[in-house]
Amino acid sequence: MKCLRNSSACVVLLILVFTSCKDSHEYSVDSAFTAYLQRFEDEAATRGRTFDPKSSGLIIEFGDLSGDVAGLTHYEKPVRIQIDKTYWNAISNNAGADLMKEDLLFHELGHGLLGRAHLNTTLENGDWKSIMCGGDKVNDRAWNINYRGERRKYYLDELFNESTAAPDFSSLEMTIDTTGYSTLVQRNFNTQDQAIWAPVDDSKHKITLDNGRLCFQSKTSDSYLVTANMDKAVSISSNFSYEITIQYPTGANADQYGMAFAPKGTDPRSTAEYMTINNNQRMFMGSRYWYSFFTELPESAIIKAGSNKLKVFKVGEVLYYFINGVFCYRSEIVASTDLNQFGFIVPAMGTVWVDNFKIAQQTSAGVAQKVKQSIQVVGEAQTISDFNMNTINKQ
């Protein structure tokens, strides 16, 4: 280096030179992320890709990111990844946190180590095609991705190979036998003895019968989870179906309403699994155990503000969702114990009409009839603040 005559200028030049000589192979990964980085390397190796970030350099650190951003990749030397600490801590307190964190880290490593850009296309069933979805919203849809079960393997295959074939779960072909289901509980709400839920009109909610339907009105700023609690549970090892017809003719189009069910002996406000819809023709499914709903899907089978028949079949470990007789989606059940709480969701300050409440089980008709005659059902209504309406932050 040639030094300038002016000594102060020489010092400035030296500082600039030494600053620019940053170690391009620096390796600094916060301990919160090391297990996920190792998983990434292991998954890459099983697919013929090898990475050695300890030698080549990598920085993964917590940051205070703005604008609902969960993660940010800086294309520096070495690559630097920032993860929003507030968001990381928020998802840490829920079931599914490990998979949500893995999805987030793998997405950012997809940018930083694989050189992948965002990919915002979808599969046949509406699922995002890749965990590399992100950036600016597409059709105002949330980036929530159902990253678990059979989907995880596909998403990892696609992450390391963009040419991965469409998975079986993305097909909208009907692949299950829906015959042989015998009714356990059925209500049509024509009379009060069919209603399950007793009429009430207080400061929080109102329940009435309205032309052969149950009308439930929320008077609070919280949503309602309205359940029918059976004294005999549906075995989690059995195949069963649950259906309900529900209408939400007024209120904001984005308000979510739909069906839910929960394990025996639990508080459904924290354990219920659900399928909700809105009058923007969007479908959501998830579990109250998790930080957020699994995914959001556009669904043309939804009748805006009209009566919609929602039905779910559990076959093996998989739930098959139907709207107005149209097969829409499949996803693994979360519950691992018997179920005895089945019900519906009412938006805050909203009114829904419910009809054709039915629970059935795939078993012999004789056994089912004996069970049906002895099942007692008690109605309950509980407010729930924020029914898993969290969307994942931008990646």
- Please tell me the pTM assigned to this model: 0.90
Asked whether residue 190 falls in the same domain as residue 158, the answer is no
Assess contact for 54 and 23: CB atoms under 8 A.
no
Residue 15 has what pLDDT?
Answer: 34
Residue 258 has what pLDDT?
Answer: 97
Amino acid (one-letter) located at 314: K
Asked whether residue 211 falls in the same domain as residue 152, the answer is no
Sign of the Cα pseudo-torsion (279, 283, 286, 291, in order): negative
Residue 18 has what pLDDT?
Answer: 38
d(CA 131, CA 122) in angstroms, rounded, equals 11
Task: Round the average pLDDT of the chain to a whole number and report it.
Answer: 90
- For residue 119, pLDDT beyond 50: yes
Percent of the chain with pLDDT over 70: 90
Amino acid (one-letter) located at 191: T
Determine the average pLDDT of the residues in 226-244. Answer: 96
Asked whether residue 46 falls in the same domain as residue 135, the answer is yes
Asked whether residue 160 falls in the same domain as residue 40, the answer is yes
- For residue 40, pLDDT beyond 70: yes
Angle at 80 between CA 74 and CA 84, to 5 degrees: 85
Confidence of residue 387 (pLDDT cuts 50, 70, 90): low
Confidence of residue 22 (pLDDT cuts 50, 70, 90): low
Q: Which residues are paired to 220 by β-bridges?
A: none
Residue 155 domain-assigned (yes or no): yes
CATH code, domain carrying 199: 2.60.120.560
Torsion of Cα atoms, 97 then 101 then 107 then 111, to 10°: 170
Percent of the chain with pLDDT over 90: 83
* Minimum mean pLDDT range among 3-7, 115-119, 234-238: 3-7
Residue 1 domain-assigned (yes or no): no
Asked whether residue 346 falls in the same domain as residue 279, the answer is yes
- For residue 242, pLDDT beyond 80: yes
Residue 389 has what pLDDT?
Answer: 63
Assess contact for 196 and 187: CB atoms under 8 A.
yes
Q: How many domains does the structure of the chain reveal? A: 2
Assess contact for 228 and 378: CB atoms under 8 A.
yes
Asked whether residue 286 falls in the same domain as residue 361, the answer is yes
192-220: per-residue pLDDT in tens?
988 999 999 999 999 999 999 999 999 99
- SS3 string, the chain, reads CCCCCCHHHHHHHHHHHHHHCCCCCCEEECCCCHHHHHHHHHHHHHCCCCCCHHHHCEEEEEECCCCCECEEEECCCCCEEEEEHHHHHHHHCCECHHHHHHHHHHHHHHHHCCCCCCCCCECCCCCECCCCCCCCCCCCCCCCCCCCHHHHHHHHHHHHCCCCCCCHHHCCCCCCCCCCEEEEEEECCCCHHHCCCCCEECCCEEEEEECCEEEEEECCCCEEEEEEEEEEEECCCCCEEEEEEEECCCCCCCCCEEEEEEECCCCHHHHCEEEEEECCCEEEEEECCECCCCEEEECCCCCCCCCEEEEEEEECCEEEEEECCEEEEEEECCCCCCEEEEEEEECCCCEEEEEEEEEEEECCHHHHHHHHHHCCEEEEEEEECCCCCCCCCEC
Residue 245 domain-assigned (yes or no): yes
Residue 392 domain-assigned (yes or no): no
Higher pLDDT, 114 or 18: 114
Most confident of 81-85, 170-174, 363-367: 81-85
Residue 134 domain-assigned (yes or no): yes
Asked whether residue 131 falls in the same domain as residue 111, the answer is yes
* Minimum mean pLDDT range among 6-10, 31-35, 47-51, 174-178: 6-10
Confidence of residue 19 (pLDDT cuts 50, 70, 90): very low
Asked whether residue 132 falls in the same domain as residue 206, the answer is no
142-172: per-residue pLDDT in tens?
999 999 999 999 999 999 999 999 999 999 9
Q: Which domain holds residue 333?
A: 181-384
Residue 298 domain-assigned (yes or no): yes
Residue 94 domain-assigned (yes or no): yes
317-337: per-residue pLDDT in tens?
999 999 999 999 999 999 999
Confidence of residue 386 (pLDDT cuts 50, 70, 90): low
293-309: per-residue pLDDT in tens?
999 999 999 999 999 99
Residue 371 domain-assigned (yes or no): yes
Asked whether residue 153 falls in the same domain as residue 225, the answer is no
Residue 30 has what pLDDT?
Answer: 98
Asked whether residue 324 falls in the same domain as residue 217, the answer is yes
Asked whether residue 97 falls in the same domain as residue 191, the answer is no
Residue 369 has what pLDDT?
Answer: 54
Confidence of residue 175 (pLDDT cuts 50, 70, 90): confident
Asked whether residue 133 falls in the same domain as residue 219, the answer is no
User: Which of 145, 170, 195 is the last residue before a domain boundary?
Assistant: 170
